[in-house]
Amino acid sequence: MYISFALLVSFTTAFTVIKVKESYWDYPDYWPVPVYDFKKNPVTEEGFQLGRKLFYEPDFSRDGTISCANCHLQATGFTHVDHDLSHGIDGRIGKRNSLALMNLAWNKSFMWDGGVNHMDMQALQPITSEDEMDSSLKEVVKKLNASSKYRKLFYKVFKDSIITGQHTLKALSQFTISLNSYTSKYDKYIRKEDDVTFTDQEKSGLELFKNNCSSCHRAPLFTATDFKNNGLSIDTTLNDYGRYGITKNPVDFLKFKVPTLRNIQFTAPYMHDGRFESLREVLDHYVNAVNHNKTTDNVIKDIKLSQNNKTDLLVFLKTLSDFEFLYDKRYSFPREKPKP
Ligand code: HEC
Ligand code: HEC
């Protein structure tokens, strides 16, 4: 059977994984309950496979050149490798760094500024953005309806002979909310699984992380559901004020979504505008370069790390890499089975 996560991970010790929680869906039982409403869009194998096909479908863009996967590549945690600001149609440069996609069912809001508050609505933004796919849902649905193959696949999932915009968005969600990462070294260490142990350096890094970082990058998801100002200076060419741009409330000035740190080793460059190339630069920012502003978080102002501390933290951050997730074939480009 397809998503039996239990096949990937054998839990014999302290923690167990709930076998079938949301039909095709699994996560460790000590994690919080997801916020996504599965009742309105239950994940099924057919729905997931259709969403996967759509995620890799370039016809979502005006000229058939850009799929979601162009900016969300599996091997880099579904983010845009090497691009500070993401590139879309006609090589146009967007205004922000692509976000990594994982454990999205636990998110209440999406985008760096939380401008989208429902997963099923999120895809509208890249589809219609003139820097990304420069199309419209109507146009996408028209192209999909012209394909008898897609009409059949949609029928199997939604029992409707006409493909609708709503079903297109729901199918995409079935794929994107299933991208769950919880089999990193860190997870196995916490679960006392496969005899995984931490070196002294990793243990020291974990302690430093708990003391300096985890108030925002909170385990087990390594993110918080609110928006914070982590002391970045304003880029005066982009003038991106983050959450403030949505709420117009001065308390939100320069606050951005706290991104997850899972698979962070592979999601460079970092921050909403991709200004840092390496994790060492990120740590240097937290220690030396914090811009004190009215909304800068107090925790940030107190971070002190020696060179050794920084090295230990970097070693710890690598334990959040989940290779089973990054190379999970269920999430990869869906190749057609060769005809017999
Ligand atoms: C041209 C590059 C590009 C394309 C194409 C693209 N995205 Fe994105 N994606 C981004 C960027 C950049 C962000 C962050 C946007 C922001 O904060 O304003 C993002 C954010 C997201 C998020 C929010 C993640 C979070 O944690 O809040 C999701 C989900 C997502 N994209 C899914 C998709 C899907 C599904 C498609 C295809 C329909 C798609 N993307 C196409 C670049 C792209
Ligand atoms: C007060 C909350 C807060 C604390 C404490 C904090 N961060 Fe962050 N972190 C954020 C926010 C918010 C962002 C995104 C900022 C942006 O892009 O504008 C971020 C971004 C990052 C990124 C880049 C992620 C990406 O996908 O681009 C890394 C790496 C990171 N933090 C690591 C750490 C480490 C390591 C610590 C502890 C030394 C730490 N953070 C402490 C709030 C915090």
The residue among 135, 130, 146, 170 whose CA lies nearest residue 46 is: 170
Decide if pLDDT at 124 tops 80. yes
Confidence band of 339 (pLDDT split at 50, 70, 90): low
**Cβ neighbours for 233, distance < 8 A, ≥ 6 positions apart:** 289, 291
Mean per-residue pLDDT for 121-144? Answer: 92
320 three-state secondary structure: coil
List, for residues 22-33, the tens digit of each pLDDT value: 446 789 999 999
Q: Which ligand has the minimum distance to the alpha carbon of residue 77?
A: 2
pLDDT (tens digit per residue) in 235-291: 888 899 999 999 999 999 999 999 999 999 999 999 999 999 999 999 999 998 778
Nearest Cα residue to 97 out of 188, 206, 232? 232
Query: What domains are there in the chain, each with its CATH number?
Result: 5-181+325-331 (1.10.760.10), 185-324 (1.10.760.10)
- 256-257 and 227-228 as β-strands: parallel, antiparallel, unpaired? antiparallel
- Overall average pLDDT of the 159-188 stretch: 96
Handedness of CA 136, 176, 115, 117 (dihedral sign): positive
* pTM summary value: 0.91
- Strand pairing partners for 236? none
Tell me the average pLDDT of the chain. 89
Give 18 Cα–ligand 2 centroid separation in angstroms: 31
Which amino acid is it at 123?
Answer: A
CB atoms within 10 A of CB 136: 14
Show the ligand 1 pocket: residues with CB < 6 angstroms. Answer: 55, 60, 66, 68, 70-72, 86, 88, 94, 96, 98-99, 101, 104, 107, 110-112, 122-123, 126-127, 132-133, 172, 176
CA-proximal residue: ligand 1, atom 39 (nearest): 68
Model confidence over 48-77: pLDDT tens digits? 999 999 999 999 999 999 999 999 999 999
| CA-to-CA separations, 313 to 76, 201, 202, 295, 298, in angstroms, rounded | 20, 8, 8, 26, 20
Of the pLDDT bands very low, low, confident and very high (cuts 50, 70, 90), residue 115 is very high
Q: Which residues touch 338 (CB under 8 Å, ≥6 apart)?
A: none
CB-defined site of ligand 2, < 6 Å: 100, 212-213, 215-217, 228, 230, 232, 256, 258-259, 261, 264, 267, 270-272, 279, 282, 286, 297, 299-300, 303, 313
| String of DSSP letters for 200-243 | HHHHHHHHHHHHHTTTTS-TTTT--SSEEB--PPP-TTT---BT
**In this predicted structure, what is the pLDDT of residue 338?**
57
Helix axes 148-158, 137-145, angle to 10 degrees: 100
